[in-house]
A and B are shown apart, each in its own frame.
Chain A
Amino acid sequence: MNPYYHEASRITSYLLSMNAQQKEQEVYASAMEKLSISFSAYEQALWKSMMSSTFKMACIDAGLALTDSTNNVRRKLFTMLAILEASPNYTACFLSKEYSKWYFLKLIFVGMRSICRAMIGLLIIKIIKQRCS
């Protein structure tokens, strides 16, 4: 199997808690071939850790969003995010809709979760950085 298909599945699972369909896996593989995103040893280590679980992927992404938002590992996630948005299979995850007035409670939860993820992520990033130096 094309190794990029596995990456596409793992990232989709992290971003939308859904399975990637074959079309999006193929588009992601094509994007990776065309964009040729190369990793340093440190980025490679980050990526390996992210691919080992979606929890780590979320935490490292959150940590990097605060400290190193243009890191190449985030570029891969961002590319998949764009591919998912430009697919009719996932449209509902990106278009606006009418929300109940209590929905903001969920947003507070998401915000808190994001902070927790960032704290754990910063710790993981620190450990990986130390190992690579």
Chain B
Amino acid sequence: MQLNYDYIVVGSGATGAIAANALAESGVNVAVLDVGMEDEKYHSLIPNKDFISIRKEDKNQEKYFLGNDFEGIAWDTNRVGSQLTPPRNFLIQLADKFAPFQSDTFKPMESMAKGGLGGGWGLGCYVFSKPELDAVGLNYHEMQEAYQAVVDHIGVSGAQDDASPYCLANLKNVHPASSIENNLGGILTAYNKNKQALNKKNVFVGRTGLAVITKDKESRKALQYKDMDFWSDKDMSAYRSWMTIEQLQSKNNFSYHKNCLVLKFKETESGVQVFVKRTDTAEEQIFTCKKLILSPGVLGTARIVIRSFDYKKEQLPIICNPYCYIPCIQWRMLGKQIEQQKGSFSQLMLFSDEQKNNFDVSMASLYSYRSLLLFKLIKETPLNYADARIIMQYLQSSFTIAGIHHPERPSSTKFIRLKKDDLQFTGDVLTGEYILSAAEEDLNLKREQKIKWALKKLGCQPLKTIYTPHGGSIHYAGTLPFGNNNEKFTISNNGKLGGTKNVFVADGSGFNYLPAKGLTLTLMANAYNVAKKALKNE
């Protein structure tokens, strides 16, 4: 097996795939080291049909809707990631073993899967504004080119409307927005009627930019409106990072090494040694490269960096968007039938831009509810199941779920620590604490009240606000903050890890601020820039 490469990328998620692609396109010799879990149970069982046809026809649907071990019938209410259906469960498989995390106040999600957490990405695409990029610590001008390169690679659809300044801004080559479903279309109509009152309060609504193609792109099909997006990727309309990795695997200058958990690195005179523990045999291996790109996700990078610097820093900061969701009843949809052909993703966004400067904006993604199955909603009612079933069947077409993200900044009560623990596969365990101050909670509460007011204006009656544990937004950043002093445990603005010559970080570890807008597109654009800078040896 070849163990020596020009560039080694750690991780195959949203950032790793983009960095590897940018490197491989330039012609250098690239390897991705990854644990690489894949779905081996369910993919072949799911018919390539729409949700309603499957529900009416497939006699074996319980195998993937409920899971072989009935893991889809979640009784435990603490789990985050409602979209982790049995066929998506491989995304978090073995994460407890290979990336142990212990905390009472912070419940992050990590992935060992090929394609990483990108396999469960909600696909919302948001270009950060200049004030946001400044606060994050990224160069506005460099990012514009990178955003476009990523959009050209992954394929994005969207519209030019009131949400554009917060979503796709001035991006080119964007596919037309998908056909809007009746539930969300009703809200958009209500917005257009009440636009003046809402805009006066700095609330804006529009179509979501989505990493879903609406025109065929190479082997990927345009969105087929099957409403099976939380269960399978059969048509590959939605972008997933594994698609980039599989595309790269056909190139001669690219290698993908599965079952490789990177523990640490060591710089030498000729480059970097990368220490790996194989997840299949527990054997240790040493890879070597001229340059190393770390992109296993913020928590994975923190583990590798702390080990590589001999556990010299006790704790690192971390930030994660506070998240809650509000189920609403949309009156005009009561008792209506949901159309057969629809998508599953959020098609509509609501932005509350208090200062009207595209900074510190709160955001609500609006979803309808169907393909995650009715029994999960029935469980949430205070009624007996038989009567709840009758009522919820009637109400389901009118359910609109608003998923709310708030912007977030670091503080002394949000941190992680890596502690040695010989019982663990990696010899250590990450711990952490995540506590918001009373002022931060109060501010978020006010933002939620504003969003609830807007939802009512749009004909949606909020039922209750459900708070997920910190970590539930699955947006993590800020462990190795951007700085330009080349200090250890910081990242310089070219993406290089402080205290090293040839180690770069391509994930969100450096971000000093998290806007409420989903960060995946920005993470990918930053990974593209970091790869380009590593190539130029900046």
Residues of A within 8 A of B (CB): 14-16, 23, 27, 31, 34-35, 58-59, 61-62, 65-66, 69-70, 74-75, 77-79, 81-83, 85-88, 91, 93-101, 103-104, 106-107, 110-111, 113-114, 117-118, 121
Q: Using A31-B70, A95-B52, A95-B55 as known contacts, say yes or no to A110 and B384 having CB atoms under 8 A apart.
A: no
User: What per-residue 1/0 map shows which CB atoms of B31-59 lie under 8 Å from chain A?
Assistant: 00000000000000000000010011111
Enumerate 16 A-B pairs (CB-CB under 8 Å) in ascending A order: A34-B69, A58-B386, A61-B384, A65-B381, A75-B75, A81-B378, A81-B385, A85-B65, A85-B375, A88-B57, A96-B336, A96-B337, A96-B370, A96-B397, A97-B393, A110-B387
CB-defined contacts of A23 to chain B, threshold 8 Å: 59
Whether the pair A66, B379 counts as a contact (CB closer than 8 A) is: no
B332 to chain A, nearest CB (A): 13
Interface positions, chain B 341-390, Cβ under 8 Å from A, are: 370, 373-375, 378-379, 381-390
Q: State whether A62 and B336 are in contact (beta carbons under 8 Å apart), knowing that A94-B374, A103-B394 are contacts in the complex.
A: no
Alpha-carbon separation in the docked complex, A85 to B393 (Å): 11
Most chain A beta carbons < 10 A, residue from B65, B379, B384: B384
A77 CA to B69 CA in the complex, in Å?
A: 17
Q: Which of B52, B375, B394 touches A81 (beta carbons < 8 Å)?
A: B375
Interface mask (B393-425 → A, CB under 8 Å = 1, otherwise 0): 110110000000000000000000000000000
Determine the chain A residues whose CB is within 8 A of the CB of B535 once the complex forms.
none
Give, as a whole number of angstroms, the nearest-CB distance from A78 to chain B.
Answer: 6
The answer on a CB contact under 8 Å between A99 and B374 is no
Q: How far is the CA of A87 from the CA of B379 in the complex (A)?
A: 18
Residue of B61, B70, B75, B385 touching A70 (CB-CB under 8 A): B75
Output the nearest chain B residue to A37 by Cβ-Cβ distance.
B75
Per the bound structure, the CA–CA distance linking A85 and B73 in Å amounts to 11
Contact B386 A14 (CB under 8 A): yes
Are B384's CB and A78's CB within 8 A? no
Q: Which residues of B contact A113 (CB under 8 A)?
A: 387
Separation of A110 and B386 alpha carbons in the complex (Å)? 10
Given contacts A79-B73, A82-B373, A99-B335, contact A88 B387 (CB under 8 A): no
Further contacts, 5 of them, CB under 8 A, given A15-B386, A82-B70: A31-B66, A34-B69, A35-B73, A69-B382, A82-B373
Cβ–Cβ contact B70 & A15, under 8 A: no
- In the complex the two chains form, is B59's CB within 8 Å of A107's CB? no
B2 to chain A, nearest CB (A): 43
B391 interface contact, C-beta 8 A:
yes
Q: Which residues of A contact B386 (CB under 8 A)?
A: 14-16, 58, 61
Q: Is the CB of B384 within 8 A of A83?
A: no
Which residue of chain A is the closest to B65 with respect to CB atoms?
A: A86
Contacts of B374 in A (CB 8 A): 85, 94
